[in-house]
Amino acid sequence: MKLFLQTIKYDYLQRTRSYAFLITLCASLAIAYTFVPEPNASYSTIRIADYVGSYNSAWFGYVTAIMTSVFLSLVGFYLVNNGIKTDFNTKVGQIIASTKVSNFKYLLFKTLSNFMVLITIVFCVFLMSILLFFLYNDGTAFSLFQFVKPYVLVTLPALFFIAVLAVVFEVFLMKYSAIQNVLFFFMFSSMMVFVPKTENQHALDVFGTKIVIEQMEESVKLITNSDADEDLSIGYVLGNTKKAKKFDFNGVDFPRVFVLSRLLWILFGFGIITAITPFFKRFSDRESMKFKRVKSVKGEVNEFKEVVIENLSKPKISYSIFPLCKTELLMLFRKGKKWFWIINIIGMVLLVVLPLEMAHQLVLPVLWFLQVNRLSDLVTKETFYNTHYFVFASYKPLQRVLISQLFAGIVLMLFLSLPLMIRYAFESHFMAFTSILLGGVFIVLLASVLGILTQGKKLFEVLFFMIAYANINGIIYADYFGGFQDGVSYLLKLIVCISVFITLIVLVRKRQVVNLA
């Protein structure tokens, strides 16, 4: 048992000391800061018709707890869904495979260490919410219980389940991170739209948020005396001109069935881990997972050959960037499974046949999102594959290698959107045409900026996922490809973003090349 805890401890330390963790933590805190708007802010997060809760302990506790439950389930999955894979890549897995730790124990300790990573963030957000209370409260008394209760009953079980889910995905789909990303995307979306009809059905809501929101609605209905469904808005709604009226929210008296169900979700999680243990093939693959599985090859030694320097043909100096672009493109297109291209092609066909609006607003962002794994390590793969010595010792790496990488990324995105762009060109709709063009550039540069700044790919993956989710839900603030907006000022905004990104990329990379480790 002591050993078991030790193992979790070191796994946890290893993971929380990573840059990706720090970045996600900071981002989570920054976002949590906005969960309960500052009293005069011009946006709302949870608003029922014209009402928001008065700023008391319960409102702060419950609102931040349910927002965290949803938000961290989404983002947290991406933060923790590489625990096993990392063991593969670092070959630690091979060492573990040779010890006597059982498969079940291994998966269990990965789950718990996933959970601990998530809890760490929750705990920081929790402290933040208390801080917010003291900043903005309406002069009500502080009650710690109103904070602890929703976090324990709503947030923690949800995140435990996410920790389990990440392990399940890794066991079955370790080699296919692209599929993991997409599949989780759909699972998350479908879990979000689930609406419990009776009180007992709340037990089926993993996130545990619906019951809280229903209670809030009830409270408002009591005030307005109406039976009609209130106009409920969750999520960031900007520009509330009408000042919200306040209602008193005093927490939820969770029914016993619900409390029990939270416990059952946790047990269910343990059950799942037990059930998938037989499918976990340990680290039997000889190949490190970093690489696609390929047939191993043997070089035949026929005769005693030697390198004779004088006989080698003399190369010429050539600083052409063209061969670099070619290879970067090649690598980009070959990345991942071959059959993944079938999906891309289906997407491109849909861009041709579907009505313009649907193709642009729905298919394009999804098709682009599917490339998330291609884009996320576009400019940082040299660190991952350990080829950075070659890259940084090359001739003018900043100007040549970086540009060819960006070029390749942009070509890929524009190639995928080509059918749509051609359609717009035929209709002489040049605004839309240009915004797609700029959108492709935008997302590639975003990937590069975040990659270069964080030296990792997680932040971009998480962010792109959120953007895509917002795109599907038609939230116009996340529209970077002109699906919902056009006009000169919109294009100008895109251009400004792009310019800022380019400046950042060049400045930071320059520093990195000059101050080599």
Binding residues for another protein (CB under 8 A)? 287, 290-292, 294-301, 304-309, 311-324, 327, 330-331, 334-335, 381, 385-397, 400-401, 515-517
- Shortest Cβ distance from residue 105 to another protein (Å)? 31
Q: Which two tokens stand for residue 375?
A: 């884009």
Q: How far is the CB of 445 from another protein (least distance, A)?
A: 22
- CA triplet 492, 497, 502: central angle to 5 degrees? 125
Structure tokens at 133: 């209370």
Residue with smaller CB distance to another protein, 102 or 386: 386
Decide whether 186 or 395 has the Cβ nearer to another protein. 395
Report how far Cα 325 is from the mean position of its chain's Cα atoms. Answer: 28
| 243 phi/psi in degrees, rounded to 5 | -70, 135
Query: How far, rounded to the nearest angstrom, does the alpha carbon of residue 509 sit from its chain's CA centroid?
Result: 24
Distance, CA of 201 to CA of 210 (rounded, Å): 10
Distance of closest approach, residue 302 Cβ to another protein, in angstroms: 8
For 259, other C-beta atoms within 10 Å of its C-beta total 12
Q: Is 11 helix (H, G, I), strand (E, B) or coil?
A: helix
- Residue number with CB closer to another protein (194 or 390): 390
Question: Residue 417 Cβ, how far from another protein at the closest point, in Å?
Answer: 24
Nearest to 296 by CA among 286, 304, 282, 306: 286
The least distance separating another protein from the CB of residue 407, rounded to whole angstroms, comes to: 13
Closest separation between CB of residue 319 and another protein, Å?
Answer: 5
Q: How many residues does the chain have?
A: 517
Q: How near is the Cβ of 20 to another protein at its closest, in Å?
A: 20
Whichever of 356 and 391 has its CB closer to another protein, that residue is: 391
Residue 382: both structure tokens together: 């040299």
CB of 514 to another protein, least distance (A): 8
- Identity of the residue, 278 or 315, whose beta carbon is nearer to another protein in the bound complex: 315
Q: How far is the CB of 323 from another protein (least distance, A)?
A: 4
Q: Whole-angstrom Cα distance, residue 185 to residue 294?
A: 29
Instruction: Pick between residue 238 and residue 317 the one whose CB is nearest to another protein.
Output: 317
Read off the tokens for 350: 């849909």
131 with 82: CB under 8 angstroms? no
Residue among 57 and 376 whose Cβ is closer to another protein: 376
Maximum C-alpha span of the chain:
95
Q: Characterize 208-243 residue by residue with b for buried, 16 or more Cβ atoms within 10 angstroms of its Cβ, and e for exposed.
A: bbbbbbbbbbebbbeeeeeeeebeeebeeeeebeee
Q: Are 319 and 400 in contact (CB under 8 A)?
A: yes
What the block records as the tokens of 383 is: 């660190």
Contact, 246 vs 54, CB < 8 A?
yes
Q: Which is nearer to another protein, 186 or 319 (CB)?
A: 319
Give the residue with the Cβ less far from another protein, 243 or 338. 338
Q: What are the helix (H) ranges across 428-517?
A: 430-454, 458-472, 488-514
